[in-house]
Structure 1
Amino acid sequence: MAAEEHAPCTKPRPDKAKKRKKPKKDKWGQPLSAAAAEEDPSVEPEQEPPAVGAEESAAAAAAAAGAEESEAAAAAEGYEPGKVVASGMPYTTTEVDIRKLFEFYGPLRSVQLSRFPDSGNFRGLAFVCFESDEDAAKSIELDGFKIGNRYMRVERCRVTASSNKKRKAEFQTDPEKSVGCLSAYVGNLSWNVTEKDLRAFFKSSKIASMRFAIDKRTGGSRGFCHVDFEDDESLEKAVAMNQSELQGRPVKVAYSVSNRG
């Protein structure tokens, strides 16, 4: 029996298949015939969808312009754009703790912890840099926030020649003793330290006078002072007490730097 010959099965190729035209619809969304669509003026031709991301791009451009204006305003006021300084934190505070606290206000660019030059331990002060100056301004709400048994202070980081000089003298290396110096810088003090407390702290030295740094905005202590001694021996005894503990904090004691230049 001869085998039956079968015609090869042919299917239309997808690339050669005719594309179907989308039916036109009336204003109520009902399909219309081609003839009806041409006659009915109420039929709206289908419009191309708007370009994807156009609105997002415009919003991003506006946000970038706003960020530039904010940074320019900060610089004009003498602040480092996007940067705040946080002080008064417990020495046990870690960089992770600080990041978690400030990331609530926006993404961070960096966190720089200030440390004692001799021990390398955290000294309760950190510089926090945000990616946005607007976020940095919002983080000032943390001023007065309680961490452990201490109240943190947060303020904008200023850029001035005098503050840079003071920061270099205070946080990097101890200044050398100048000729005729009888004064000492005493820093890293607890907010509630009084003159009586310091006189007891330097009981082996003869103190002539004492000047606390006062915050003009709050009227409270800024955490450091300058002490004038009656003689050189008293000054040397005081400087030798550098890093001694007062009310649970190691006190920074160094020769005062004269502002006269």
Structure 2
Amino acid sequence: MYVYLCKTLIHVIVFQTKDAAKKALVLDGADMDGFYLKIQPYKSNRLHKTDFTPEIIEGYNRIYIGNLSWDITEDDLRNLFSDCKISSIRFGTDKVTGDFKGYAHADFDDGASLNIALKLDQTMVFGRPVRIRCAVPAKEVDKKTSLKPVMKKDERKQIGESAKKKRRTCYVCGVPGHLSSSCPKNVASPGIEK
């Protein structure tokens, strides 16, 4: 059971037993140094995300590949899909900066290759589980990024690797290559839920 206390900020407190939470609820309206406590059961108002999974469209053999490592190359993706007949791979980049955005699209020659590729969803590549879904045809999506091949590491250094590396570095441990939300050092304390 969750209970929050409000002074000037909202706090969520997790109790180990229901009895302890019920005792805290009794303190609703209590005076604390001139401030009155407002204690209520926690009610989540966040909507749960639905897992958007587009259906296979006959003849449209393109997949979306997400949660990619910043260091991935086209050869790495071709190795992942070695049992598939790939016609092209394009990496998602920012239109303005040209920075790689952590996803790619791959086109296949046939539907059989598409089905094989979809079965590789959540395969670990460079320590990250890649997300593989059917791509949505372009006419149904507002294009916010351009799809271009990722530059080689030597080309990145010429443009200013230091600025890109700063954004790609984990804020928790300082190691590049993963986000702070998936950092192995970012482990919640027991009994506390986020």
Where on the TM-score scale, by shorter chain, does this alignment land: which range?
0.3 to 0.5
Q: Highest Rg: 1 or 2?
A: 1
Relative contact order, higher structure (CA 8 A, sep 6+): 2
| Greater helix share, structure number | 1
**TM-score if structure 2 supplies the norm length?**
0.45
**TM-score if structure 1 supplies the norm length?**
0.34
